[in-house]
Amino acid sequence: MQRKDIAVFQKKIWVFYKKEGRHNLPWRKTKDSYKILISEVMLQQTQVGRVLEEYPQFLKVFPNIEALADASFADILKTWQGMGYNRRALALHRLAKEIVEKYGGKVPHTRAELETLPGIGPYTAGAILAFAFNKPEIFIETNIRRVFIHHFFPRPALSKIPKGGARGYQPGGSTSKLVRDREILSLVEQTLDTKNPREWYWALIDYGAQLPKIEKINPNKRSKHYTKQSSFKGSLRELRGKIIRTLSKQPATFLALKSVSDNDPRTKEALDALIKDKLIKYEKRKYQIA
């Protein structure tokens, strides 16, 4: 990229962020690496509005990494209710124990160390390093991906992308090719504000979050990695959530759980999956939190 093109792009993002950025998000008002780690794990696959509701309560119950490591998984799961994807709560518990035992309660400062922790992938590791330690790491997430596709990759002129996105889509030419993350990561690196990566990534994420309001077609549908999220209503995830909420109160038999699940024929399948994920266990003819 030309230096002038980078400057124009950066100015556009900074101007938007100054006027319309989400400056009051609580995890942006702290440099506490533990609190930032919690927010990043919560924000995985969960809307900001829901995290805003649950984040303060979670930190009230578990104010530091030691408190989280010492807690029982059952107590963590009770506090986690409402967030969904309960495997994240299990990963957080394991992560907290490992940080306390291996790093003396200090969140690691390197990507290699962070990515060895349960539930921490490339994006979350990069985000923690940028937001907690202001390190110029290179990473991508859905909003950042949306920004770069919108600005640097043209929308197909003749080919119509189906609702399902990349799956089954045959590119019709250079203007309709699907964009790979490695192409975007190169642009992320070239345009990164290395002096202030923390706020730069906040600005990118906020700009990307507002694009669906002004774009008729989600730019991320032009991504090679785009997948449409399945409906939660009536899904196995919803059934698993019902079971976890019930068991968070007390152990229950299979018949009791099937009744709570409105006699859903997938109840046994959900229970087996929860046991496999080590979220629950079966003892003395009853299911209970692991």
pLDDT digits (tens, 9 = 90+) for 207-237: 999 998 887 788 888 888 877 766 767 788 8
Mean pLDDT computed over every residue of the chain? 89
Dihedral sign from CA coordinates of 104, 106, 108, 114: positive
Would 31-133 and 236-289 be classified into the same CATH topology?
no
DSSP annotation of 277 reads: T
Residue 289: strand pairing partners: 280
Tokens encoding 118: 């349960």
| 135 Cβ neighbours under 8 A, 6+ residues apart | 109, 129, 197
Distance separating alpha carbons of residues 155 and 34, to the nearest angstrom: 40
Residue 176: per-residue pLDDT: 54
pLDDT value for 114: 97
What pLDDT shows up at residue 163? 53
| In contact, 175 and 157? CB cutoff 8 Å | yes
Architecture of domain 31-133: Orthogonal Bundle (1.10)
pLDDT of residue 43: 94
The residue type at 260: V
How many whole angstroms separate alpha carbon 34 and alpha carbon 57?
15
As a whole number of angstroms, the distance between CA 82 and CA 46 comes to: 10
Domain ranges of the chain: 31-133, 236-289
CATH class of 236-289: mainly alpha
What is the torsional sign of CA 130, 136, 138, 142? positive
pLDDT reading at 68 higher than 60: yes
Specify the pLDDT at position 67.
98
- The Cα–Cα gap between 114 and 95 comes to 10
Beta strands in the chain (DSSP E): 280-283, 286-289
Kindly state the tokens that stand for 71. Answer: 């807690």
Mean pLDDT for 27-56 is: 95
The model carries a pTM of 0.82
CA-CA-CA-CA torsion for 62, 63, 67, 71, nearest 10 degrees? 0
- Asked if residues 132 and 107 have their Cβ atoms less than 8 Å apart, the reply is yes
| pLDDT tops 70 at residue 188 | yes
- Higher-confidence residue: 9 or 177? 9
**So which residues are the catalytic ones?**
40
Res 216: pLDDT: 78
Q: How far apart are CA 280 and CA 290, in angstroms?
A: 4
Q: Give the model confidence (pLDDT) of 135-174 as tens digits.
A: 999 999 999 999 999 999 877 543 444 555 544 444 333 4
Q: At what angle do helices 197-214 and 3-20 cross, to 10 degrees?
A: 80
